[in-house]
Structure 1
Amino acid sequence: MLASRARQPATKAITLAAAAKRTNPTRLQCRYYSSNNQQRPSSSLVWPTLGAIGVGSAAFVGYTYLTNEPQPAKRTPAELTFEKSRTADKYSKEYNRAELSAQHVQVKKSLESPGIYAWGSNCYRVVDPDSDETIVKTPRKISYFDGKVLRDLKLDERTGAAISEEGDLIQWGKGFSETEFKPTKTLAGKDLVSLCMSRNRIIALSSNGNVYSLPISKDEQESGPKPRESSWVPYLGSRARISYRLLQPRLSLGEKVTTISGGEEHVLLLTSSGRVFSAASATDSYPSRGQLGIPGLTWATRPEGPVDACHEITALRGTKIVQISSGDHHSLLLDKDGRVFVFGDNGFGQLGIEFDPAFPYTDAPTLLPLEKLYPGKIWNLKATGIAAGGANSFFTVDATRILGPGEDKSLVGNLGHITADTWAFGKGITGALGNGRWTHLQDAPTKVKALSGLSEYDEKKKSLVPIRLQQLSVGATHASAVLNNSTHLDSSKRSSLSDTNFGSDVLWWGGNEFWQLGTGKRNNIPTPTNINAPPDTVGKKAQTERRLQIIPRHKGKLGNRTVSMEQRVECGKHVSAIYSAV
């Protein structure tokens, strides 16, 4: 502090001395130049003058030190430059935070506020139970699920059903109740993990492999037969609160059901051993288009016992199935070797095999010949995913470049290169195939170019890697795909434009008669396209940059808990939704 206080007076003293020299410039200058005239200045005059200046300066320094307030030390050029850079950086960060992209803000808000966004037909109060609007044109939050994460969600035009984080079934919509529109807990205490819906029933799978079938209607749940439930206390069993049935396939010791998928009238059950069972899942009609996968099985030929008895698809015995998917009246299966099997209705070519008016369906699993899609015998093919909905089917393929017959290895530069492609077939009159065309019947797989051959640079691998599909959801007339592109969720709270969050890209296409694509317009779209994020999730750049993105799996705060969660897409009949899932 003393050095700081002394620095200024010393500087002033030097300045004063210079000023004193300027007080009589003529006299001093004359004496100096007179030396050139062989006469030196007289020492009797110089020393008294300098002595007087020194005494005056010392007196002034002492007075200034005692009376002046402490002043900041004079900064060097280097110190001034550093201070300017700090100030500029501070204002730059404040500006950048104010101007963060809508994409970044959307991801941030989605991380902090889980829930369900839905849009499309609201005639039955499914998309927005709190509103009597018949159409919701763009994504809107369902208030009941604010701050909640779910295990599963299925939506239809008439009814909505979700499984809560605790494993309870929640239902809403006029298909459930004509008078009570608020989501209501129905089947509780079963630790449910997933569900599917038929025309009038819900099929739900529990964590221990039990499969429950219950009416969608609240009135039928209350009036129908209620099974007796056991208790951990002997002789204290009681009747269930609502009506339901258990679907019971014949399983081996240690085997259990792990996945379910259903259509309008049927449901498929996949077990831990890779076996597949099928069953009727509607009470108003029996599956009659081969969708059960059992040759010759009809209402007239069904075996004795419950109508919804489970039947093993024995044609696939010895084949380990790893994925199942159902459309309204057809099904797809994927085995561990990357082969795709199809069966059921083929009225629009949704089985990917040639349509024959004399035999409009196939009741036995049929293998799709993938090699016909890649001629030349230079590709190793493996299907990696399947999806079905309505009268449409999709599958994804990893095509790896191999050495073909007669090829010289030294002349083939892309050996081992993987191309990830998406193929579609079925009813494309609304553009639901995503291939850019309006096709009434597409009975041969057609490539979805917008979802094929995509790649990005991987910083870790230092090479291009294929972008595959993370999720593919197919509704009655429209569909959506979530890309498995690189994401970033690690930006700090003091983010700048060069440090932003971004999620997975999501694309939509197909029928838009009830605004279910979320574009805010009603026209159908035959090619996958981006849509805007909900207005409440974007920042200042909302008018110019609002592309909707999906949050990949991450660990986030839910109240005082840390929860592993992600966003998923659900396409139903004339409705769409995005929800936070555990």
Structure 2
Amino acid sequence: MLASRARHPATQAVRHLRPSTFATRRSLNAPSRRLASGKAQTSNSSSGWIPTLLGVSVAGGVGFLGYSYLTGDWKEAWIDSQLPKNEIIDVNDLRAQFIQEKRSLRSPGVFTWGSNEYKVADPGSKDADIKTPRRFKYFNGQVLRDFKVDEKSGAAITEDGDLVQWGKGFSDTDFKPRKTLTGKSLVSVALCESRIIALSSDGNIYSLPLSKAVQESGPKIREGSWVPFRGGKSTLSYRILNPALGLGEKVTTIRGGQEHVVMLTSSGRVFTAASSTENYPSLGQLGVPGLTWTTRPSGPADSCHEVATLKGMKVKEIASGDYHALALTKDGRLFGWGDNSFGQLGVQFIPSEPSVDTPFALPVEKYYRKEFYAPTITGVAAGGANTFFTVDSKRILGRDEEAANVRDLGSVTADTWSCGRGIWGTLGSGKWIHIQDSPIKVKDLTGLGEYDEKTKQMTPIHLRNISVGTTHVAAVLDNKTSISTKKTDSLDKSNDFGYEVFWWGGNEHFQLGTGKRSNQSRPTYIKAPQESSKKPEPEARLQLMPQHKGRVGKRNVNMEQRVECGRNVSAIYSAV
């Protein structure tokens, strides 16, 4: 039963992937039984695949869309149930596998769980903690551009580009969701200590207070209008951040910390700015050597500063923790700066110098045998006091080796590394460490592979996304599989399965979704919620829906599910 493996490490869980994919460590032999493109292949006979297809497809399919069902306000822990031992199931009947999938196509939405002390996970509930994923009723039937949750407040960008806020951090008396900044065609948002930073589709960056009272009472700027004589003051207080951009250049990505925001432009340049109403960044997180409150240049306190150390390096990805930041260049180099109190920059923690204000390159090469492997950093994520990055390590020919004797020459291994605070198990390494100032492998998410029917060989499974909260983490594998031969099939006409998602770290407010408070130091999957407690359903692990066509009102919309980890709160939402 899947339930018996619910708390096993990710590598064990991944080895039980759907029929079309078997994931394992590279050192293991490839499975002898495979199913792909709707055709079974066995080593000895054609009858052995039926039980495998039966057990895995029913369980995996139900878990695939466990978060996208029409009704349900899940207030209890997962309901343990299992199939009757003597139940006979028709192997050709896939209705059980896709019933929640069909329901999801008609009803996108948001599910939240974790701390509810400030009415963020469920504004209408009196529960201090939401133990298991619960549908956020305000967003029923909606697809969103972005969604962020913190312990005290939440923010979302609607399909139309409007900002929605809620939680007691927004208002003590009116903490239910409410549209605030509208008409700006926003595409993404970052939650900081006391302000929200929002990016519009045309590259404008808006900084506004988290508090509804300050939004209404603060200074208002004058807004223009394309209609003559229709301009006037804005209805709420906000500021516009203005980095010094070149002709045709615009900001494409923003990442926020507690007191700072990092901005990436279409030209690969990086800018930073203060993002707190009360505190000016003092731990080097702006990436400008010697910059403090007293040495800052004249002008607004939230003026934008280009990170000069990164000039000319073509940055492709940025990340931000509470008080540190990182930038990944197109040639695979990772730069970090800011707070290093827990070793989150991946270099030795020095008590007399707990922060670094000048970006430096993380020496990843020293963690590999350079005569045999060529590592390239492929992704980075950060949150709280932790950093995660992924590396593609390619096997190369050693100086004294002959190509004919090296079986894995040219093969690529996908590795996941972490550093920083691990006291809650946030490193995912299986250890409980207060300070980890040298990167350590997340072994359960390292060296995974799957058999590719097209190339007839094992290929590495990369991470599609890592979302890092203050004490917990979620990782989504890029392992979407299909046994359909038609790429043009819509999801309801194909046999697609979902992305595997794993959780670990702090669980003091049930933010891992396991229904229990115990922390997890290794990646584990969580169960999909039951549709109804009255009718037992097969237990299955949660998977995320890939890109598909769903129904929003009377429209067909391309959407997918995404995961978000915040400060003691978690969410899954339907994204456009």
TM-score by length of 2: 0.81
1:159 aligns with 2:153: yes
Distance 2:513 2:420 in 1: 23
Equivalent in the alignment of 2:124: 130
**Are the structure 2 counterparts of residues 491 and 279 from structure 1 closer, same or farther at C-alpha, using a change threshold of 3 Å?**
same
Contact 2:105–2:549 at 8 Å: present in 1 too?
no
Amino acid at match of 2:175: F
> Do the aligned partners of 1:110 and 1:537 also contact (CA within 8 Å) in 2?
no
2:517 corresponding residue in structure 1 = 522
Matched residue, 2:224 = 230
Cα RMSD after superposing both structures: 2.1
**Which blocks of at least 5 consecutive residues in structure 2 are unaligned?**
1-86, 487-493
Q: Which residue of 2 aligns with 1:511?
A: 506
Counterpart CA distance in 1 for 2:102 and 2:446 is: 29
SS at match of 2:458: strand
Q: Partner of 2:199 in structure 1?
A: 205
2:371 to 367, 373, 377: 377
Alpha-carbon distance, 1:217 to partner: 0.6
- State the Cα deviation string for residues 548-582 of structure 1 (Å, max 9, x = none): 10011122222322211110000000000000001
Residue 426 of structure 2, aligned match among 404, 423, 432: 432
| Residue identity in the other structure for 2:267 | S
Q: CA deviation at 1:112?
A: 3.0
Pairwise mapping of residues 305-316 of structure 1 onto structure 2 (< 5 A)? Answer: 305-316=299-310
What is the CA-CA distance between 1:468 and the residue it aligns to? 0.5
Q: Distance in 2 between matches of 1:93 and 1:491?
A: 29
Q: Is the 8 A contact 2:129 2:509 kept in 1?
A: yes
Q: Which amino acid aligns with 2:458?
A: L
Cα pair 2:190 2:256 within 8 Å, conserved: yes
Rg larger in 1 or in 2?
1
Q: Describe how 1:27-42 pairs up with structure 2 within 5 A.
A: none
**Equivalent residue in structure 2 for 1:273, among 267, 276, 290:** 267
Contact 1:538 1:546 in 2 (8 A): no
2:456 partner letter: K
**Structure-1 separation of matches of 2:496 and 2:532:** 13
Which consecutive residues of structure 1, in runs of 5 or more, have no partner in the other structure? 1-91, 493-498
Is 1:470 the equivalent of 2:464?
yes
Give the corresponding residue for 2:352. Answer: 358
Paired AA for residue 298 in structure 1 = T
Q: Aligned partners of 2:89, 2:348: CA distance in 1, in Å?
A: 62
Mapping 1:169-318, distance limit 5 Å: 169-318=163-312
Q: Distance in 2 between matches of 1:411 and 1:99?
A: 47
The percentage of counterpart residues that share the same residue type is: 59
Q: Which amino acid aligns with 2:523?
A: P
RCO (CA 8 Å, sep 6+): is it higher in 1 or 2?
2
CA–CA distance in structure 2, aligned partners of residues 567 and 111 of structure 1: 11
Q: Distance in 2 between matches of 1:164 and 1:140?
A: 20
Contact map agreement 1:140 1:534 (CA 8 A) in 2? no
Counterpart CA distance in 1 for 2:325 and 2:570 is 22
Moved more, 336-345 or 107-116: 107-116
The Cα shift of 1:501 comes to: 4.7
Q: CA deviation at 1:181?
A: 3.0
- CA shift for structure 1 position 129: 1.2
**Paired residue for 1:109?**
103
The structural deviation recorded for 1:377 is 1.9
Structure 1 distance, partners of 2:425, 2:98, is: 31
1:130-187 deviations in whole A, cap 9, x for unaligned?
1111110000000010110000000000001000000000001111111123210100
| Alignment partners' CA distance in 2, 1:520 and 1:128 | 16
State the match for 1:344 in structure 2: 338
Partner of 1:368: 362
Q: Which structure: greater helix fraction?
A: 1
Q: Contact 2:395 / 2:410 at 8 angstroms: preserved in 1? A: yes
Secondary structure at the aligned position of 1:536 is classed as coil
**d(CA) in 1 for partners of 2:167, 2:369:** 49
SS at the partner of 1:222?
helix
One-letter amino acid matched to 2:359: P
Displacement after TM superposition at 1:235 (Å) = 2.9
Aligned-partner Cα distance in 1 for 2:512–2:154? 18
Superposed, which structure 2 residues align to 1:435-446 within 5 Å? 435-446=429-440
Q: Are 1:408 and 2:402 matched, yes or no?
A: yes
Q: CA deviation at 1:416?
A: 1.1
Q: Distance in 1 between matches of 2:373 and 2:480?
A: 26
Q: Indicate the SS of the match to 2:365.
A: helix
Aligned mates of 2:339, 2:483 — CA distance in 1: 43
Q: Assess if the C-alpha contact under 8 Å between 2:548 and 2:560 holds in 1.
A: yes
Deviation at 1:93?
Answer: 12
Give 1:94 deviation, angstroms. Answer: 8.9
**Larger CA deviation: 528-537 vs 218-227:** 528-537
Preserved CA contact (<8 Å) 2:379 2:389: yes
Q: CA deviation at 1:465?
A: 0.9
SS of corresponding position for 2:207: strand
- Cα distance 1:579–1:253, how it changes in 2: closer, same or farther (>3 A)? same
Task: Give the Cα separation in 2 of the matches to 1:144 and 1:532.
Answer: 24
Q: Which residue of 2 aligns with 1:74?
A: none
Give the deviation of 1:536 after TM superposition. 2.7
Q: Which amino acid aligns with 2:369?
A: P
CA distance in 2, matches of 1:537, 1:367: 52
Residue by residue, what CA displacement relative to the aligned partner does 1:93-138 show, whole Å, maximum 9, x if unpaired?
995587855x644444333321100000001111011111111000
Change (3 A) 1:253 1:209: same
Q: Provide closer, same or farther for how the CA distance between residues 376 and 237 of structure 1 changes in structure 2, counting only shifts above 3 A.
A: closer
Instruction: Give TM-score, length-normalised by structure 1.
Output: 0.80
Distance 1:475 1:535 in 2: 26
| Aligned positions of 1:540-579 closer than 5 A | 542=537, 544-579=538-573
